[in-house]
Structure 1
């Protein structure tokens, strides 16, 4: 019985001057109120209204990029296969880290895949660390202290910048490293997106570290990199080291022999509060440590981006191949 019904009932009875019935209705309302309050207290104690324990659940996020969708599906399948925890997915969050990190801090998101370089430079705004192990330990300690967020072991992939050249240029100039490229750069043409050409950890830094001085530099859209290097007038481009297109692109990746590019090692970030609530998750997440090298991430990205496979199916196939499903 709601308040409106009770008022109408009382009003009707008063008009009939039927006081005994009105008194009864008051008693019924009080009894119903007591029953409702008691049920609420019992539900609060038991977790749900039917007395069952509240189900275990975590919220998993990802950035809006192919690699992140695949990694999120891998995490979802592994957690649900190894535990009784339900995974609620919130994938493809616009703005990536800039929106996911605050949501992690306030508890809206429990875990997501992230990269060491992003955490160190973008979130913590620290100075560049070139050594990947030093970077990982530093970012792990800082996140634990400042945000109460735990970094799992690294997957094995490093999604950083790289420089690719045409097979013709590699053969003609015997190019294997970025140092090799720097020596002959005045003879070649380089193409990259505007952001890379301007940022300190991009082309300006390469000029300083490797002595790059290309005969010509072309500004291109980041999505046209692989098409551009197929033309006759471009010899070198910037790429990401886990790009799916690398699987069948006719290019040669050069070694960053002076470790100029910051490492972006992938790992799972999870709130320490979530780990404290579900400690079994730590062992589950560690099953991915060292399990996803660049070559395998490239193949999975290729399957989704080029062959149009479902990220969940690619993730399932990967885990079955590794004996984890």
Structure 2
């Protein structure tokens, strides 16, 4: 498969690459990222957060827990929310966030290098568990959590109401010029204008059955020229309007508004639900069952509007730790 890879500085390099269907191949070079990820979060204890609804939990006092995450803003913000809450309850938390890709962070969890991280129902169902059929959001969560526990001894806490699913976006200008509002409109347009079917994509969207290949099949799209780049670069290159007319995005990303991007309506309802939940090894939850009671009330408040606003703060340059602390304070979880 011939694709273009656009590096962060915009230089285009022609490459030929064979991707695994599951996207879970983790090379030694990738896994070393675990060792080089962020270090310990600055020392914080429950006394620093007096006045909120989170109280010190005796069973978590001095518990040593490592929190991990994937590399993009939303994952970094969610992980800092969990880190701060655990610290407020009295745990000692090591920050191993910012690992690249689902396979790497999942390997950190299953190998014991991390104790918990946020995963998405859709990512787990298709990429980790290797399933292909789609299900409604609540049903998907039950199937994922049941299968992961039975097969892999990975426990899922409650899923957040937010749904960070895939979407296809165009610039506001391009939408107004072409009248494209939906993915069906996109399919019709590129059929008539093959040269205009340029699409900026990140690695996982290119690999996964719930990504580009499945979308093309669902909508009958033929004329797509993909340009492979990092997650963040997709947004900037799409907004610039020179490299591609279409791009894959995350539906709750804070950059959508700031960059004047228009998510296209998924009028055939192809993209599955991606509700995030904290995942941890069964043995960890059995040792510290109080983690569920601590995090579930926080998770319940993370809807689409909330996470999009938090993501926008990250896109504007605010540190994920600051975002997490401010949000937990504003919702009364910490003082």
Question: Which segments of 5 or more consecutive residues in structure 1 lack a partner in the other structure?
Answer: 1-52
> Which residue of the partner structure matches residue 88 of structure 1?
94
RMSD over equivalenced CA pairs, Å:
2.9
> Which residue of the partner structure matches residue 76 of structure 1?
83
Provide Cα deviations, 1:248-298, integer angstroms capped at 9, x if missing partner: 111211221222123322110122222222222111121133422333323
What pairs up with 1:186-205 in 2 under 5 angstroms? 186-187=192-193, 188-193=196-201, 195=203, 196=205, 200-205=209-214
Maintained 8 Å contact 1:246/1:298: no
TM-score by length of 2: 0.70
Task: Give the Å deviation of 1:106.
Answer: 4.4
What pairs up with 1:31-50 in 2 under 5 angstroms? none
Maintained 8 Å contact 1:72/1:112: yes
2:309 matched to 1:299?
Answer: yes
Question: Which segments of 5 or more consecutive residues in structure 2 lack a partner in the other structure?
Answer: 1-59
2:185 matched to 1:180?
Answer: yes
Provide Cα deviations, 1:66-121, integer angstroms capped at 9, x if missing partner: 2222111100111222x23322222223x444343344334442211111122222
Higher helix proportion, which one?
Answer: 1
> Which residue of the partner structure matches residue 240 of structure 1?
250
> Which residue of the partner structure matches residue 64 of structure 2?
57
Maintained 8 Å contact 2:202/2:248: no
The farther-off stretch of 198-207 and 256-265 is 198-207
> Which residue of the partner structure matches residue 319 of structure 1?
328
Distance 1:141 1:200 in 2: 21
2:275 matched to 1:265?
Answer: yes
Distance 1:99 1:170 in 2: 36
SS in 1 for 2:313: helix
SS in 1 for 2:186: helix
Distance 1:198 1:76 in 2: 31
CA spacing shift, 1:138–1:176, aligned 2, 3 Å: same
2:261 matched to 1:254?
Answer: no
The farther-off stretch of 249-258 and 204-213 is 204-213
What pairs up with 1:153-232 in 2 under 5 angstroms? 153-171=158-176, 174-185=179-190, 186-187=192-193, 188-193=196-201, 195=203, 196=205, 200-214=209-223, 217=225, 219=227, 221-222=229-230, 223-231=233-241
Distance 1:271 1:151 in 2: 9
> Which residue of the partner structure matches residue 145 of structure 1?
150
> Which residue of the partner structure matches residue 275 of structure 1?
285
Maintained 8 Å contact 1:130/1:259: no
Maintained 8 Å contact 1:67/1:301: yes
Rg comparison, structure with higher value: 1
Maintained 8 Å contact 2:127/2:208: no
SS in 1 for 2:134: coil
Task: Give the Å deviation of 1:315.
Answer: 0.6
SS in 1 for 2:298: coil
Maintained 8 Å contact 2:169/2:247: yes
Task: Give the Å deviation of 1:140.
Answer: 0.2
CA spacing shift, 1:194–1:54, aligned 2, 3 Å: closer
CA spacing shift, 1:275–1:231, aligned 2, 3 Å: closer
TM-score by length of 1: 0.71
CA spacing shift, 1:172–1:103, aligned 2, 3 Å: closer
Distance 2:161 2:311 in 1: 15
2:134 matched to 1:129?
Answer: yes
> Which residue of the partner structure matches residue 12 of structure 2?
none
CA spacing shift, 1:141–1:181, aligned 2, 3 Å: same
Maintained 8 Å contact 1:62/1:92: yes
